Amino acid sequence: MTATARKSRRVLVVGATGRLGVAIAESLADRGDEVVLTARDPNKLEQMSASLARESTGSRPAPFVCADLTHRDAVERIVEGLRAAIPISADGTRGSIDDIVLACGPFPRTPFDELRREDLERTITVHCVAPLLLVHALAGDLAKARGAVVALGDAGTTRPFEHHVAYLTAKGAIKTGLRALAVELAPDVRVNIVELGIVADPEADADPLRQHRLATRSQLGRFGTPAEVVHVVTALLDATWATGETWGIGR
């Protein structure tokens, strides 16, 4: 039996300059997908875009759009930006997206005694309101491409940890929102979540005792690697018979 060549997909990576976003975008480009990037910092985006030029895209830098997801017009900016940044395809379609990976947002520490309304509003906006509205705005593109959304969730939503009430609330909200979108968008668009434990960060993991304490919370007793996250993200992008699912790793 001869294997059929996999058709390249155009994937929007949100939070594309983050530790996991970079690993995801690189892996998608390596397998021949066309990656479109969004994040806040234009310098990081420009660098990342140039580094993703691959043979499969004629060595063109990856299109990118700068947007701050806390801004009310972020979704419009991203949609308009990607329509303008992506070359018109052979069938005359302008800047259409096939799949989305949501890997965005900060990890703000919000000590309980100092928790403020703004912390909750800001974090819920970046991690939940803007990503949900973005998927909503691109639902037509995704449906036309029989596309997929894969979001990075956090294991802390089922086993919370201290000093992160705003972050964990936001991650819980996006999880529920995406499961609702899976219902709204079925059967044309699949929406799945990777719910991860802690990925090793050589810069942040300087304290071996803290590292040991945190790592042993997970059954496998260690932090994960970006490659292990990428593996599950791409598997869910390709999982044509799965929607509304949460795949837990490193929990």
Site for ligand NAP in 27-46 (CB under 6 A): 39-41, 44
The CB density around residue 30, as the number of other CB atoms within 10 Å, is 13
User: Distance (Å, rounded) from C-alpha 80 to C-alpha 64?
Assistant: 11
Site string for ligand NAP, 60-99 (x = CB under 6 A): --------xxx-----------------------------
Stretch that binds ligand NAP, among 14-22, 56-64, 89-97, 232-240 (CB under 6 A): 14-22
Q: Which is nearer to ligand NAP, 70 or 211 (CB)?
A: 70
Does residue 134 bind ligand NAP (CB under 6 A)? no
Least Å from the CB of residue 188 to ligand NAP: 25
Peptide bond into 187 cis (omega under 30): yes
In one-letter notation, the amino acid at residue 109 is R
User: Distance (Å, rounded) from C-alpha 251 to C-alpha 248?
Assistant: 6
For residues 153 and 171, the answer to whether their CB atoms sit within 8 Å is yes
Q: Which is nearer to ligand NAP, 170 or 185 (CB)?
A: 170
For residues 74 and 125, the answer to whether their CB atoms sit within 8 Å is no
Site string for ligand NAP, 194-233 (x = CB under 6 A): --x-xx----------------------------------
Tokens 């993991």, residue located:
205
Angle between helices 19-30 and 42-51 (to 10 degrees): 30
Binding site for ligand NAP (CB under 6 A): 15-21, 39-41, 44, 68-70, 103-106, 126, 152, 154, 196, 198-199
